[in-house]
Structure 1
Amino acid sequence: MTEKIGLFTGTFDPLTNGHLDIIKRASQHFDQLYVGIFKNDQKNPLFPTDKRVEMLEEALTNLSVNHKVKVIKHERDLTVNIAKKLGVTAMVRSLRNSQDLEYEKNMFYFNLEMTGIETLFFLAKPELEPLNSTRIRELHAFGQDVSAWVPENVSRELRKLDEQKK
């Protein structure tokens, strides 16, 4: 039987409880799930890539799936090229709303056309639907407590950033 290998990518800046929920749920459908922290030139990250990898790996230790999940990073290649190199059998994407669907439909088309790799879409749980990293960064920038929406270790790192600014 062919091993089922998934790839869930994002900037995860910062990692949210919504991201962790998708990772946990998606990992149940794969023998191996890669979570790729990839560079997006259209975004200005709050945390460097290595710090985001570290935070994700720490957050995964609290999930019962960390033996199936491997965090990777990449800064200069198309996701589909990495997927082919890893032997990925399906891409994993999350959908919170209709805007996500429109964006992801386009990515689905190109991923499938370029590689033949299918995409599995996971709907955000209703209570996690509003979460996105951009909103978390914005709230944090205005001094709001975001600890309810991010893992504890991410909240701790955000507080460290605040202390460095003082």
Structure 2
Amino acid sequence: MSVSETSASKRRIGVYPGTFDPITNGHLDIIQRASRQVDHLIVGVARNAGKGPLYSTDERVAMVREDVAALNTNGTSIEVRAFDTLLMHFAVEMNAGVIIRGLRAVSDFEYEFQMAGMNARLNPKVETIFLMSSEKHQFISSRFVKEIGRLGGDIRHFVSPRVAERLAERFAQEARGPSDSTSVQTLS
């Protein structure tokens, strides 16, 4: 085995999955901190139509890519990919040895603990690492950001300026209602 093959096989690859609808400063904090734990981080954007996302998968992937591009990751490569499979299948497909999950509060722990246990049963070779949210991001959730933004509150402390702008545009669009781009036809 050559030196390059050895170093490639020892490369630590991690997956940080989520819906990211939208990506928040809390997510970015976890991404930045996770990048110090692995050589290559894959941010997996779950399609998860069951959650009724505000943004399409492609829009969420674009927002995550834009925000991740602005991070200082100290040389760790970060890739953003959509997925719609079982998380463990996605991790194996990406050759990841670790799944990274963020914990905000004790209420997150029970769900995440159960999920980590199920994932370990599916594939004990892939570890789950929990990163606690930084103190200033513990209360941020995408759901709260959307609710505050939709009601006209200031969300600039919770998301990047790019995401805040996109949210403002989306909520303004919702307030206007569906655009009527079809012409009215009359019967003669």
- With the shorter chain as reference, the TM-score category is over 0.9
What TM-score comes out, normalization by structure 1 length?
0.95
* Alignment-derived partner of residue 184 in structure 2: none
The 2-side partners of 1:57 and 1:110 are apart by 29
Matches within 5 A, 1:65-84: 65=73, 68-75=77-84, 77-84=85-92
CA-atom RMSD in angstroms: 1.3
The 2-side partners of 1:160 and 1:142 are apart by 13
The answer as to 2:158 corresponding to 1:149 is: yes
Give the deviation of 1:19 after TM superposition: 0.1
Quick one: which amino acid aligns to residue 157 of structure 2? A
The answer as to 2:147 corresponding to 1:163 is: no
Matches within 5 A, 1:14-163: 14-65=22-73, 68-75=77-84, 77-116=85-124, 117-163=126-172
SS in 2 for 1:131: coil
The 1-side partners of 2:115 and 2:25 are apart by 24
Deviations 1:104-125 (A, max 9, x none): 0011001111111110100001
Give the deviation of 1:162 after TM superposition: 2.8
The answer as to 2:20 corresponding to 1:12 is: yes
The 1-side partners of 2:50 and 2:63 are apart by 22
What TM-score comes out, normalization by structure 2 length?
0.84
Q: Give aligned pairs, total.
A: 165
- Runs of 4+ aligned structure 1 residues displaced above 4 Å come to none
The 1-side partners of 2:26 and 2:87 are apart by 21
Q: Structure 1's 60 and 8: CA in aligned 2 closer, same or farther, altered over 3 A?
A: same
Deviations 1:9-33 (A, max 9, x none): 0000011000000000001111100
Quick one: which amino acid aligns to residue 56 of structure 2? P
Give the deviation of 1:103 after TM superposition: 0.4
Deviations 1:59-102 (A, max 9, x none): 11211128611000012x10100111111110000001111100
The 2-side partners of 1:159 and 1:38 are apart by 23
SS in 1 for 2:165: helix
User: What fraction of aligned residue pairs are identical, expressed as a percent?
Assistant: 34
Which is higher, the Rg of structure 1 or of structure 2? 2
Q: Gapped runs of 5+ residues in structure 1?
A: none
